[in-house]
Amino acid sequence: MNPVKALEQHGQAVWLDFLARGFIAKGDLKKLIDVDGVKGVTSNPSIFEKAIGSSDEYDGAIGSALNGGDRPVIDLYEALAVEDIQHAADVLRPVYDKYDGNDGYVSLEVSPYLALDTKATIAEAERLWKQVGRSNLMVKVPATPEGIPAIKHLISKGISINVTLLFAQQVYIDVAEAYLEGLEAYVAGGGDPSHIGSVASFFVSRIDSAVDKQLDDKIAKANDPTEKARLAALQGKVAIANAKLAYQHYKRLFAGERWGKLKAAGAKPQRLLWASTGTKNKAYRDVVYVEELIGPNTVNTVPPATLDAFRDHGVPRDSLEENIDDAKQVLADLDAAGISLDDIAKQLVKEGVQLFADAADKLLGAVAHKRETVLAQRIDQQTLALGTTLAKSVADSSEEWRAAGKIRRLWEGDASVWSNTDEAKWLGWLHSAAAEKTKLADYQDFAAWVKREGFTDAVVLGMGGSSLGPEVLAETFGQTPGFPKLHVLDSTDPAQVRATRDAVNLTSTLFIVSSKSGGTTEPNVMKAYFFAQVSAMLGADKAAAHFVAVTDPGSSLEKLAKEQGFARIFHGDPTIGGRYSVLSPFGLVPAAAAGIDVAKFLDSALAMVRSCGADVPPQQNPGVQLGLALGLAGQAGRDKVTILSSKAVADFGAWAEQLIAESTGKDGKGLIPIDGETLGDVSAYGNDRFFIDLRTEAETDAAHDAKLQALEQAGHPVARIVLTSADQIAQEFFRFEIATAVAGAVLGINPFNQPDVEAAKIKTRELIEAFEKAGSLPAEKPAISTAEADLYTDDKNEATLRKAGADGDLASWLKAHFARAGAGDYVALLAYIARNPDHIDTLQHIRLAVRDRRHVATCAEFGPRFLHSTGQAYKGGPDSGVFLQITADDAHDLAVPGQKASFGVIKAAQARGDFNVLTERRRRALRVHLKGDLASGLKMLDDAISKAIN
């Protein structure tokens, strides 16, 4: 007789430890049932990983599943696994029926990530039980300390359970006790236990592998030949002895009065199932863990190779209760040898959980790769060229993150991923795209109202995250027919405020006042100005219909908006910081107003959310990979993140600049983003650069690509991101958010606070209060004064610059100042003037000249806009900046309704507050105040800097 089928005569059921789609579909499982008498199937992450990741048999199913819409990687895997389990259960159903529910089961494991979480294990087991919907399913739950109470609860709810990762006899007793108590609770609640099945999976070969390793060490150290022989005699014996004694506990536990009552009610015993029965030591007989553990009411789950081997040369016999005294002696001798089987068992449980988690990571990584392949045209592509050293660091760190489950911990809000302070309070951005998708009707209603009202323009009045995200949308999407043109004002410069006023028709303009706290100076004064302007034309009542507010619940802005009767109030999420808020109402309200398809926009964002999800291992997770590369490069001195954006997405760098700088630049650490620096020759750069190149698929620039390739070949790390089209920019918002959060973790900082931004705000408020009292800002004494400009700095900087040759002319001060920029430094131009094309061109000309001459990274910023952006890194980040602040006389000031301080005074206070904090932090800072005509002053400054650096 077939030795496998003959096991039936000894009371043992054979289950197969294998599952694959083709194996079921081609009838191979059915054949094993018919020929070998196989009565069940077990699965685990390792089995599914081999089935899905090592073949193409699931590719069609994955493609079909995604044709119905994108889904998270874990959902995609579960859809495949559940379908396989259902098909296997259906094939095994005749066995289940024939043996009255004693056999015919298929097992599906709860996520190994939940092995140490009782509540989560229960919730997932209940969900899988319901999702599979087959009475011959057993849900696999590990016998961890947290798993045992889950087992009891699940049995009490009538769910069949396969208890896995059992190694120790006492733990088995605890598991059996949990089963009995669960049955008793179920029966006490009026349940019929006859449909409940359970097995306790007692692992075998892994014990011998662990014990033999320790025995080998002791044998090598022993000097006495007799002792060596005694130790060697234990090898390959412990696992079987341990299992035999566990079976003796089984006989005791499922007998007597207590069990009799449950049996009378229809309950089935929880059979011992021998798992891990494939022989790992080639010195042992390949069927030893089958032949030596045959006995009544047991199950042996075998991998295909072991099944084939036993069919070929296995010898069935009633072996399980042979030599019980010898088994006891084996364990006694092991203990006498100083080897603790209990300690080994505990370690094996820990390792088993990790091994299954490792397999799950590999499995989900394979599914993630297949998903990305199917959705190639719907997901922006990223490639990293990091060089050998950085690439190895990223690979090593990726593995460390994977093994520690850090990406899952990040998504769960574990603050210890970062600095273990208040990070958990600021993670709403992780879920904002999904959350806002549920509010589509509100955005669509708002968009319809905007269109119906006939607004020709929409102006966002905000700063930082409230303005930079909408600015990207305005520049990237342009104007939608039938909807207003979107503008952004994020300045207190009188000329820029006036330019915005002149660019729109106030009587047909919608103003979006955007401030999370409601207390930010700039949006409040901008709102006051434009509300007064519109009121003067239409009256206050009608003016209010031109204003909407985006703010956090309970803010002062919300209160004011209600008092003045704003047309709409949209609430932000208090758990989302401003720079992470573009996929929340702070970005979506302007998007809807501009006629951007919010549903499509969010769907695009969600594609990247899924690619960067908690279920995607670091190695396959694009956001995590970029973040690790940025953080590790920064630690290695390449902390100048140079963002290159093609024409179609040119404004993205300004948003990313704020995100990276404000998130990472603190505690003397950080990444310094470099936006707007056009690409130069290799000779222009030091060894402190990391390049990120974004472009759309349709855009080509051979000269740019050649320069980028030359930089890569010269050893500079390069990240290339290709968008299928510009309207997929939403994906990049999330990619960079997750990457920045990960980079912050690498750097060991809190990427969600901005302590040094607050410092500048405090200084500004003090200066404005002084103006309110005295009617003027406090007097300043320049270091030098000329007809064209005044120069200011603190005593320490002044002494240093004079010692370096600065005297009575501007050029000498600039020469001494820029000479302070050395390798690894950057030069930042901080201009408190209107941000317009002419001024942008002037600053660009200056910065590129400095870069090419001094070979340092350069920043060209406009104040006060940058205060809510890169200002954090300049003050709190690494002390590698050389700062030239540029201020100027305002040709025409503008009054702020209801305040003594004008726009010009507020801007001046902001500039001085900013500069004061820079000098207090001992930064290398110099301020040039231009007098008279601004255009002439800027040209003079350009010429002076050109002389100074040559």
Task: Decide if 170 is inside a domain.
Answer: yes
Residue with token string 């020759």: 681
**Catalytic-residue membership of 140:** yes
What amino acid occupies position 148? I
Task: Inform me whether the pLDDT recorded for 186 exceeds 90.
Answer: yes
Q: Are 799 and 877 found together in one domain?
A: yes
pLDDT at residue 533, as a whole number:
97
Task: Inform me whether the pLDDT recorded for 44 exceeds 90.
Answer: no
pLDDT at residue 544, as a whole number:
97
Structure tokens at 565: 């009767």
Task: Inform me whether the pLDDT recorded for 1 exceeds 90.
Answer: no
Domain boundary among 600, 626, 657: 600
Task: Decide if 365 is inside a domain.
Answer: no
3-state secondary structure of 551: strand
CB atoms within 10 A of CB 686: 19
Q: Are 714 and 837 found together in one domain?
A: no
Q: Are 285 and 323 found together in one domain?
A: yes
Q: What is the pLDDT of residues 772-813, one digit of tens each?
A: 999 999 999 999 999 999 999 999 999 999 999 999 899 999
Task: Decide if 478 is inside a domain.
Answer: yes
What amino acid occupies position 32? L
Task: Decide if 543 is inside a domain.
Answer: yes
Q: What is the pLDDT of residues 674-706, one digit of tens each?
A: 999 999 999 999 999 999 999 999 999 999 999
Q: Are 506 and 592 found together in one domain?
A: yes
Q: Are 772 and 741 found together in one domain?
A: no
Task: Decide if 358 is inside a domain.
Answer: no
pLDDT at residue 812, as a whole number:
96
Domains in the chain, number = 4
**49 confidence band (pLDDT: 50, 70, 90):** confident
Instruction: Please calculate the CA angle 700-704-705 and round it to the nearest 5 degrees.
Output: 70
Pairing verdict, β 718-723 and 381-385? antiparallel
Q: Are 215 and 199 found together in one domain?
A: yes
pTM over 0.85: yes
| CATH number assigned to the domain comprising residue 901 | 3.40.50.10490
Average pLDDT over residues 305-327: 96
Q: Are 622 and 730 found together in one domain?
A: yes
Q: Are 514 and 647 found together in one domain?
A: no
Domain boundary among 717, 747, 777: 747
Domain boundary among 747, 765, 796: 747
Task: Decide if 106 is inside a domain.
Answer: yes
Percentage of the chain with pLDDT > 90? 95
Instruction: Please calculate the CA angle 118-124-127 and round it to the nearest 5 degrees.
Output: 140
Domain span at residue 696? 378-422+606-747
Q: Are 319 and 271 found together in one domain?
A: yes
Task: Decide if 898 is inside a domain.
Answer: yes
Task: Inform me whether the pLDDT recorded for 56 exceeds 90.
Answer: no
Q: Are 449 and 551 found together in one domain?
A: yes
Task: Decide if 370 is inside a domain.
Answer: no
Averaged confidence pLDDT in the chain? 96
pLDDT at residue 315, as a whole number:
96
Sequence-distant (≥ 6) Cβ neighbours of residue 514 within 8 angstroms: 460, 461, 462, 466, 467, 470, 523, 549, 550, 551, 586, 589, 590
CA atoms within a 13 Å half-sphere pointing along the CA-CB vector of 40: 30
Are 767 and 917 in contact by the 8 Å Cβ rule? The answer is no
Q: Are 844 and 935 found together in one domain?
A: yes
Q: What is the pLDDT of residues 230-258, one digit of tens each?
A: 999 999 999 999 999 999 999 999 999 99
**Catalytically annotated residue among 39, 140, 370, 707:** 140
Burial environment of residue 562 by CB neighbours within 10 A (0 to 12, 13 to 18, 19 or more): exposed
**755 confidence band (pLDDT: 50, 70, 90):** confident
What amino acid occupies position 911? A
Pairing verdict, β 298-302 and 105-109? unpaired
Q: Are 860 and 812 found together in one domain?
A: yes
Task: Inform me whether the pLDDT recorded for 51 exceeds 90.
Answer: no
